[in-house]
């Protein structure tokens, strides 16, 4: 896969100027509780960039907040994104947006897609590279309020295709790992990945970003962790 923004990112990774990376989203990116003390996917990204790529002057900021939707991120965009003067901004969102329960109004995939498009526009307005991620699987039988997750993942794919945005299709990755069902070995509850799930998310994001350090220690370990989870 190639695109102008991927080429731009590759060039930036090959240059000496430090980059600021902002990862944002909801509880999955926030990375608390469900990893049970192990690393979340933003922490794996941090090791790949600042450790294995040796980009020690890069900064990786995680501004995700548990329970949030895209509208909360847009409303708090200055604090969550623009105040960090980012060069790269990744967004994983949709698990809460698709819900028909809780305190937030029910929204349709089209409204969600419009908000995702606005996010992309704002990020590009900062001169940064946006990277979208679809949300991972949901056990719909145990979380029926999130039964629309596939439609919201598809909305992200459509925005990414229309706007030519880099995409880590984590939903498709988890579907593949689960053989079309829920990949139980990657989940801590009906919609939060466990530590192995975060290893899978890190691999998916690294592929989308073209982050592949030579003689990496981390990537084989993450791959093995995901493979081991398949026996569950």
pLDDT tens per residue across span 134-152: 999 999 999 999 999 999 9
Q: What is the pTM of this model?
A: 0.96
pLDDT (average), residues 155-172: 98
When the pLDDT of each residue in the chain is averaged and rounded to a whole number, the result is 96
| pLDDT tens by residue, 9-27 | 999 999 999 999 999 999 9
Is residue 232 over pLDDT 80?
A: no
Alpha helices in the chain (DSSP H): 4-13, 27-30, 41-46, 70-75, 77-80, 109-125, 149-163, 170-177, 195-209, 218-229
Position 4 scores a pLDDT of 94
Percent of the chain scoring above 90 in pLDDT: 95
| pLDDT tens by residue, 77-89 | 999 999 999 999 9
Name the phi and psi angles at 186, rounded to 5.
-105, 0
């Amino acid at each position: 896969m190639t695109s102008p923004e991927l080429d731009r990112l590759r060039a930036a990774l090959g240059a000496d100027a430090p980059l600021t990376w902002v990862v944002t989203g909801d509880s999955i990116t926030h990375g608390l509780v469900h990893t049970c003390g192990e690393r979340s996917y933003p922490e794996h990204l941090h090791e790949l960039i600042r450790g294995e790529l040796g980009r020690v002057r890069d900064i990786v900021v995680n501004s995700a907040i548990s329970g949030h939707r895209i509208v909360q991120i847009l409303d708090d965009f200055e604090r969550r994104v623009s105040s960090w003067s980012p060069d790269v901004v990744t967004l994983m969102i949709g698990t809460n947006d698709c819900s028909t329960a809780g305190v937030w109004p029910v929204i349709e995939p089209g409204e969600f897609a419009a908000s995702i498009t606005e996010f992309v526009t704002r990020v590009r307005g900062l001169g940064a590279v946006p990277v979208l991620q679809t949300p991972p699987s949901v056990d719909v039988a145990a979380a029926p309020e999130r039964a629309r997750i596939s439609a919201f993942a598809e909305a992200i794919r459509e925005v990414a295709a229309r706007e030519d945005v880099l995409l880590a299709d984590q939903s498709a990755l988890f579907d593949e790992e689960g053989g079309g069902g829920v990949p139980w070995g990657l989940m801590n509850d009906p919609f939060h990945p466990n530590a192995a799930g975060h290893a899978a998310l890190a691999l998916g994001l690294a592929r989308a970003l073209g982050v592949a350090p030579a003689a990496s220690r981390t990537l084989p370990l993450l791959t093995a962790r995901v493979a081991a989870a398949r026996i569950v």
